[in-house]
């Protein structure tokens, strides 16, 4: 794998850390700004909304920039947003800093996926994309716990300054390691980028991402209360369980990419089928400590094994002008996050219990599998039509 992927991975690590570290700092921020915990929690929602909106907007605005220059610009925006967050003296300023940072998130992963795929041979594209996303998954295992500890020890601002430092290292890495666009190469025009959305398979791939990734946050959002109130763990065990989930995430991301490079759609069928089964395991497993540990680890592996295949599928279907579609797909991942968490909370509020999130995750995964099967069938019919015409 090219060394340039290391620069993309470090960038993803910084972006992932700033996205999720806020969760561990909510009590400190609530006390600092005199707001309730739910109000402080809107800093998470604001970031997610910024990703969803910023991904296509910044990609469109930067359409004529060379991709390396676009990556550098986005990392500059990311650094600036975190500086604003670190210096924030009010809740509103902190929210503004979070939103500025989030605008860089979706566009960076969208453009970065295209750059990563272009650095390697066609049969290694999913693994190249997965290497970049490994930075995001490692953020959950290392960046978020360390950022939380740093914020608790030296004040919440220190966590954002640490992310600023990571962003500077990532910027210099992209500058030094990512090759410039080839001489004479031309980026697709905005019209060409928009035209790919006339392809039904692009929309099928985006829907596949929303439904196929939504199960991850349907369960992950409620792991803490499930562990303490159902399985009987103490609160001190929650960070360990979340870290265990993170380990599964890292492993699953790499496994999913390797299988996707061999056979993309069959791999997606298999991964989504296993995701449905593992989601249902939460129903019996959550009632014992050993069972919940096994379910969390397995769920981490299989839920994030979808990431590289889903992103690769969008790149395939948007061939010729993939940058905007790739960025929109990052927004689709975040839409899946929001959908899963919302539906999981809805069944809990309805009195069905924390384990009911497993049913919701399984149904969402079944929807993703149904879309994948329909999309694959369309591919086969198209190939058969071409063969007959030939």
- Residue spans per domain, the chain: 1-179, 188-390
**The token pair that represents 296 in the structure block:** 């969390």
Per-residue pLDDT for 84 more than 80? yes
**The token pair that represents 287 in the structure block:** 């009632």
Q: How far apart are CA 245 and CA 363, in angstroms?
A: 21
* Residue percentage of the chain with pLDDT more than 90: 36
3-state SS, residue 288: coil
- How much is the average pLDDT of 319-340? 84
| 3-class DSSP string for 229-277 | HHHCCCHHHHHHHHHHHHHHHHHHHHHHHHHHHHCHHHHHHHHHHHHHH
How confident is the model over 191-222, as pLDDT tens digits?
888 888 889 999 999 999 999 999 987 887 77
The pLDDT-based confidence of 258 (bands split at 50, 70, 90) is confident
In this structure, how many other beta carbons lie within 10 angstroms of the beta carbon of residue 142? Answer: 16
* Residue percentage of the chain with pLDDT more than 70: 97
Q: How far apart are CA 12 and CA 78, in angstroms?
A: 11
**The token pair that represents 335 in the structure block:** 């839409």
Please give the full DSSP string across 4-30, using - where no structure is assigned.
HHHHHHHHHHHHHHHHHTHHHHHHHHH
Q: How far apart are CA 254 and CA 204, in angstroms?
A: 24
Please calculate the CA angle 2-4-9 and round it to the nearest 5 degrees.
Answer: 110
> CA dist 191 to 181, 185, 219, 342, Å?
20, 17, 39, 35
How confident is the model over 53-68, as pLDDT tens digits?
888 888 888 877 888 9
Give the per-residue pLDDT at 183: 40
Q: How far apart are CA 135 and CA 246, in angstroms?
A: 12
3-state SS, residue 352: coil
The pLDDT-based confidence of 87 (bands split at 50, 70, 90) is very high
- How much is the average pLDDT of 349-367? 91
Q: Which of 200, 199, 215 is nearest to 368 (CA)?
A: 215
> CA dist 66 to 70, 72, 73, 114, 323, Å?
6, 10, 11, 12, 11
- How much is the average pLDDT of 309-326? 86
Give the per-residue pLDDT at 37: 67
Give the per-residue pLDDT at 38: 66
Mean pLDDT over each residue of the chain, to the nearest integer:
87
pTM: 0.80
**The token pair that represents 68 in the structure block:** 């390396």
Fold of 188-390: Growth Hormone; Chain: A; (1.20.1250)
Burial 145-183 (b: 16+ CB within 10 A, else e): bebbebbeeeebbbbbbbbbebbeebbebbeeebeebee
Give the per-residue pLDDT at 211: 95
**The token pair that represents 124 in the structure block:** 């290694």
Give the per-residue pLDDT at 186: 59
Q: How far apart are CA 323 and CA 107, in angstroms?
A: 9
**The token pair that represents 291 in the structure block:** 């069972």
Residues in contact with 377: Cβ distance below 8 Å, sequence separation at least 6, in sequence order: none
Give the per-residue pLDDT at 1: 67
The runs of H, that is alpha helices, within 119-263 are: 125-138, 144-154, 156-177, 190-195, 200-220, 223-225, 238-262
In this structure, how many other beta carbons lie within 10 angstroms of the beta carbon of residue 194? Answer: 15
- How much is the average pLDDT of 251-267? 89
- How much is the average pLDDT of 249-264? 88
DSSP state of 172: H
Residues in contact with 31: Cβ distance below 8 Å, sequence separation at least 6, in sequence order: none
- Intrachain domains 1-179 and 188-390 with the same fold: yes
Give the per-residue pLDDT at 184: 39
Q: Which of 108, 113, 104, 110 is nearest to 54 (CA)?
A: 104
Q: How far apart are CA 24 and CA 150, in angstroms?
A: 11
Q: How far apart are CA 155 and CA 158, in angstroms?
A: 6
> May I ask the CATH architecture of the domain 1-179?
Up-down Bundle (1.20)
DSSP state of 97: H
């Amino acid at each position: 794998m090219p060394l340039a992927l290391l620069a993309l991975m470090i960038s993803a690590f910084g972006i992932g850390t700033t996205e999720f570290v806020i969760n561990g700092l909510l009590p400190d921020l609530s006390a600092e700004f005199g707001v309730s915990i739910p109000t402080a929690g809107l800093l998470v929602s604001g970031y997610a909304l910024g990703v969803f909106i910023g991904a296509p907007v910044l990609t469109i605005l930067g359409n004529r920039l060379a991709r390396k220059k676009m990556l550098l610009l986005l990392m500059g925006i990311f650094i600036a947003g975190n500086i604003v967050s670190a210096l924030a003296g009010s809740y509103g300023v902190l929210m503004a800093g979070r939103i500025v940072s989030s605008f860089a998130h979706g566009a960076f992963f969208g453009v970065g996926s295209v750059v990563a795929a272009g650095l390697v041979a066609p049969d290694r594209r999913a693994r190249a994309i997965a290497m970049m996303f490994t930075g995001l998954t490692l953020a959950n295992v290392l960046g978020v716990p360390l950022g939380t500890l740093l914020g608790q020890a030296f004040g919440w601002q220190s966590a954002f300054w640490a992310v600023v430092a990571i962003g500077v290292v990532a910027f210099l890495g992209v500058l030094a390691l990512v090759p410039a666009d080839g001489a004479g190469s031309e980026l697709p025009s905005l019209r060409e980028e928009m035209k790919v959305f006339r392809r039904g398979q692009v929309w099928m791939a985006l829907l596949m991402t929303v439904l196929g990734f939504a199960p991850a946050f349907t369960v992950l959002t409620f792991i803490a209360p499930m562990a303490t109130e159902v399985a009987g763990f103490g609160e001190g065990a929650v960070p360990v369980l979340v870290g265990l989930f993170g380990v599964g995430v890292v492993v699953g991301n790499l496994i999913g990419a390797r299988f996707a490079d061999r056979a993309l759609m069959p791999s997606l069928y298999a991964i989504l089928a296993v995701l449905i089964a593992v989601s249902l395991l939460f129903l019996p497993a959550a009632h014992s400590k050993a069972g919940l540990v096994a379910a969390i680890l397995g769920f981490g592996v299989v839920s994030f094994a979808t990431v590289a295949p889903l992103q690769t599928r969008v790149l395939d279907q948007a061939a010729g002008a993939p940058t905007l579609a790739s960025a929109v797909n990052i927004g689709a991942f975040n839409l899946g996050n929001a959908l899963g968490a919302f539906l999981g909370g809805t069944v809990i509020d309805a009195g069905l219990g924390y384990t009911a999130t497993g049913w919701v995750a399984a149904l969402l995964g079944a929807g993703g599998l149904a879309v994948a099967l329909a999309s694959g069938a369309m591919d086969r019919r198209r190939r058969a039509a071409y063969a007959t015409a030939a």
